Structure 1
Amino acid sequence: MVVGELVQEKELVVVGGGPAGYTAAIRAAQLGKEVVIIEKEKIGGVCLNKGCIPSKTLVHAAKQSGRLQKMKELGFLFDDPSFALSTYHQYKNNTIDNLRKGVMALCKAHKIEIITGKAYFLDHERIGVENGHQYETIKFSQAIIAAGAYIKEDETNRVLSSYQLFNPENLPGKLLLIGWNYLVLEAAFAYSGLGCDVTVLATRDDSGFLDAEIEKELIRLLKKRKIDLHLDVKNIRWHISNNLIDCTFNNANGERREVTGTHIYSQEEIRGNTDGLGVSRLGVELDDQGFIVVDEQCRTNRGGIFAIGDVTGPPLLAVKGIRQGKTAAEIACGKTGEVDMTWMPTVIHTDPPIAFSGFTESEAKEAGFTIKTGVFPLTANGYASLTQNKEGMAKVVFDDQSDRLLGVHFIGEGAVDLISSAVLGLEMGARDEDFLFPFYPHPSTSESLLEAVEQMKGLAIHQPPKKVKQKA
């Protein structure tokens, strides 16, 4: 410490201003804590500035392209439109700026100080902040680490990171996507919708990532969108030659194949953003990928030090970080609570989107449940028909012994909003009668949830009865 240096004193310091960090800061301020956020770049973190918001904005833009033909069928007349990437970037940047200003206004309203700079723990009660030639020290009683995760970006601009994938300088001529996760799927639909040539080499390493019937419908939609899809590929190799990506792989039959692209994305290694943070000085426990180990109350093994969000490891989702942020702040303020991710929803912004929570059919069977399922296609839903969004389905998984809901899976327009009802039912231990009894607005896509439960019981109104095989 420089002689004569002034030291600030704060009750709670939050390292990182992403969704997890600023949520924790606001909740702690609501409960009476004096809080400071230290953010090395821009408030809102990776999610707002480089990840969630940019990716969903690109997906939204691509979806509007698909709506144009439907608008013509409704009677709207216009010339053939074109997509201006520069105008799109202006829209995206304005959206991000407005959201960032909103977060900063909320912090100001809660009297949360925001300090820009790189944080480094000096000991268990002091943290240093460096910003260029400026340096200051903050003494704290408690700290919440929300430093996020780190990926290495390729300098060739041909091998894309997830950040570059959804913040394109130019639209790729032919995009190769390797993997079978939400980033690959969202990018495939987005770039295909914008007119790009897309190839997906689906490794499908994560068994049970999607329910089998949802995945089957997804594969049908990928092929319908003219996306070049190769399932269950192995031994992928690529190299750059004359600004092109030459990629070889073994297909599901073991045959060696080759594809060529202008850009490529493959799931990158992600590490906890703890290097240079000084957590080892505190004795905070890390795993092999640099993620901080926490319990269900977001406590580290060091008293008074919490960790939340991506820095605590997979799943790297804002929904998890936001819940952790609230829990850590409440525990720090003497409240009770814990993070239980049993029924945490997963949302994939494909076109149409996918949303699910709870057990897949195969997971429920593996867990020892005797199950019953119901499926209702959106082709039989009136509102989906009039809005021309008939692709997809709703599927429910129930325990046959107790009639308790185990899982809900949607693919189709409105899935992102519908999953909230499913999560509420899962959290409350709802039974089939709890979904059959309430009123559902008509016409609405939400009726598909009701009719999926009714179909399970052989009572769906807008589906023909199941055919029963006659014995000879």
Structure 2
Amino acid sequence: MVVGEITEDKDVVVIGGGPGGYHAAIRAARLGRQVTLIEREDLGGTCLNKGCIPSKVFTHFAQEFKKMKHLKEMGMEFGEVEANLSTLQHYKNKKISQLRTGVESLCKANKVEVVKGSASFLSESRIGVENGHEFSLFNFKEAIVATGGDFYYPEGIKFDSDRILKEREIFQLKDIPEELIIYGADYISLETASVFSILGSRVTLVLDGEFSFDSAITKELSRQLKKQKINVIKDSQLRAVIERDGHLMVELEKEIGETISIEGSHFVMSGQVRPNLSELGLDRLPLEITEQGYIRTDREGRTSIPHIWAIGDATEGPSLAVKAIKQGKVAAEAMAGLKVEVDLQFVPTVVQMSPPIAYAGLTEEEARKEGYSVTVSENPVRGNGYAQLTEEKDGFVKVVSDIETDVVLGIHMMGMGAVELITTGVLGLEMAARDEDYRFPLYPHPSMNESLLEAVEGLKDDAVHMPPRKKELAR
């Protein structure tokens, strides 16, 4: 390593070029700051290059593949349809490259200086950046830590085989697994299970915990997993994965102490996300860290050192790109003196399985626990005319509301279009909307949007396409 003799002065330094980092960099640049963005790998971070985008290429492919039967029924004629993962990999890599080029172009257009290398703090106002044999020193006025997170796995599980995979590696396969065992209960595990079941794998989903959904979603999800012939094993802890003669033996321990073994051709595990902070030199700073190892921030993203900010997986909260993007913009705006903050109360959570899941706000159980006088309404998607003609009849929309104030507390959806429609739900939740606020606008017809309207109307038993509520007998 050759240490440079010159220390360069920088205005704003953003460490990490993932979705949170590059949004922060571009927003700060547009607000008049001179921005240097430091990234050790590729712009776009894990989300664009390894996680969100690659996995969504597969979920989109599976959803389109599933439509083939319906399209034939409608009269679309074509030969036998097969899933070619080699071609899909080529498509995936092309799209990643295009999107990454787009991010690079945006940084250039906004005059964001991009520096390749690994950054570490040397003091409260100086960082070093190492790139191979080169080492640069920067003095900065303000810095944003956007280093993201990484997955961690139980000790003893060795990922030393092309059949024992981490969650990102499963989307690099060029052949469809014959028998796929998935370990996890998060959205990544559900998406993986749905994708490869549709593409022809015999899938076993081993749940290492409980789903965090509303009870109605969990019930419908169980039905959908059974419908897709996904074998589900609950309440199990992983003990070992052993490869023998091209096959895998996965040993599990049930809560009652029973040990079981299942066999498959491939195994994939979803790890636990932890912040990427170990090589950042934070021990040189009087920076406040939480007990869980996150950088503590206020609602603007400011750390205990006023001119250093942190966003994304480096901070507490859900490990989601939507959180990082919002935090990145807010940190940049707060630097410019704007009155902004991040409120994570209504973070939209989505699962891009088939059918998709999307929700925001309180579950029915959470609302009751918090002391609300709860009423709920569920509108099955099969009652929607557009769902019928598109053969997307699985799922429902559930609305959780407070009887005393009519304020909507939570919206939970499962069905085609849920991911797009949840934005309407989030907007209403942020505005503390009552059911009348959802009912007043006109909804396009025919469309999936009407499922949300009728679910809200159902709170007052006014939904036309839902049967009347049963009246409680007087006691």
TM-score relative to the length of structure 1: 0.95
Aligned partner letter, 1:179: G
Q: What CA distance in whole angstroms lies between the structure 2 residues aligned with 1:246 and 1:460?
A: 51
Contact (CA 8 Å) 2:3, 2:136: kept in 1 or not?
Answer: no
Contact (CA 8 Å) 1:272, 1:313: kept in 2 or not?
Answer: no
**What is the 5 A alignment of 1:338-349?**
338-349=341-352
**What is the 5 A alignment of 1:457-472?**
457-468=460-471
Q: What CA distance in whole angstroms lies between the structure 1 residues aligned with 2:271 and 2:255?
A: 23
Q: Which of 162, 181, 188 is matched with 1:183 structurally?
A: 188
Q: What CA distance in whole angstroms lies between the structure 2 residues aligned with 1:3 and 1:83?
A: 52
1:133 equivalent in structure 2 = 133
1:403 equivalent in structure 2 = 406
Q: 1:441 to 1:117 in 2, by over 3 A?
A: same
Deviation larger for 51-60 or 249-258: 249-258
1:118 equivalent in structure 2 = 118
**2:54 aligned with 1:54:** yes
SS in 2 for 1:165: helix
**2:171 aligned with 1:166:** yes
SS in 2 for 1:5: strand
Q: What CA distance in whole angstroms lies between the structure 1 residues aligned with 2:205 and 2:53?
A: 23
2:267 equivalent in structure 1 = 264
Question: 1:123: how far off?
Answer: 1.3
Q: 1:2 to 1:190 in 2, by over 3 A?
A: closer
Segments of structure 1 that go 5 or more residues without pairing to the other structure are none
Aligned partner letter, 2:240: W
**2:401 aligned with 1:383:** no
2:85 equivalent in structure 1 = 85
CA offsets, 1:193-212, max 9 Å, x none? 11111101123335xx1111
SS in 2 for 1:213: helix
SS in 2 for 1:43: coil
Aligned partner letter, 1:174: E
**What is the 5 A alignment of 1:290-439?**
290-439=293-442
Q: What CA distance in whole angstroms lies between the structure 1 residues aligned with 2:238 and 2:122?
A: 45
1:194 equivalent in structure 2 = 199
CA offsets, 1:291-313, max 9 Å, x none? 32222221111221111111214
Aligned residues: 469
Q: What CA distance in whole angstroms lies between the structure 1 residues aligned with 2:102 and 2:469?
A: 53
Q: What CA distance in whole angstroms lies between the structure 1 residues aligned with 2:2 and 2:307?
A: 26
Question: 1:413: how far off?
Answer: 0.2
TM-score relative to the length of structure 2: 0.94
Name segments (4+ residues, structure 1) moved above 6 Å. Answer: 1-4, 469-472
Q: 1:172 to 1:285 in 2, by over 3 A?
A: farther
Question: 1:466: how far off?
Answer: 2.9
1:23 equivalent in structure 2 = 23
Q: What CA distance in whole angstroms lies between the structure 2 residues aligned with 1:290 and 1:470?
A: 54
Q: What CA distance in whole angstroms lies between the structure 1 residues aligned with 2:111 and 2:142?
A: 18
Segments of structure 2 that go 5 or more residues without pairing to the other structure are 154-158
Q: What CA distance in whole angstroms lies between the structure 2 residues aligned with 1:464 and 1:190?
A: 34
Question: 1:251: how far off?
Answer: 5.7
SS in 1 for 2:96: helix
**2:91 aligned with 1:63:** no
Instruction: Report sequence identity in percent.
Output: 45
Contact (CA 8 Å) 1:352, 1:411: kept in 2 or not?
Answer: yes
Aligned partner letter, 1:116: K
> What is the alpha-carbon root mean square deviation over aligned residues?
2.0
Contact (CA 8 Å) 1:19, 1:45: kept in 2 or not?
Answer: yes
Q: Which of 237, 262, 269 is matched with 2:239 structurally?
A: 237
SS in 1 for 2:398: strand
Q: Which of 433, 444, 460 is matched with 2:447 structurally?
A: 444
Contact (CA 8 Å) 1:152, 1:161: kept in 2 or not?
Answer: no
Q: 1:173 to 1:283 in 2, by over 3 A?
A: farther
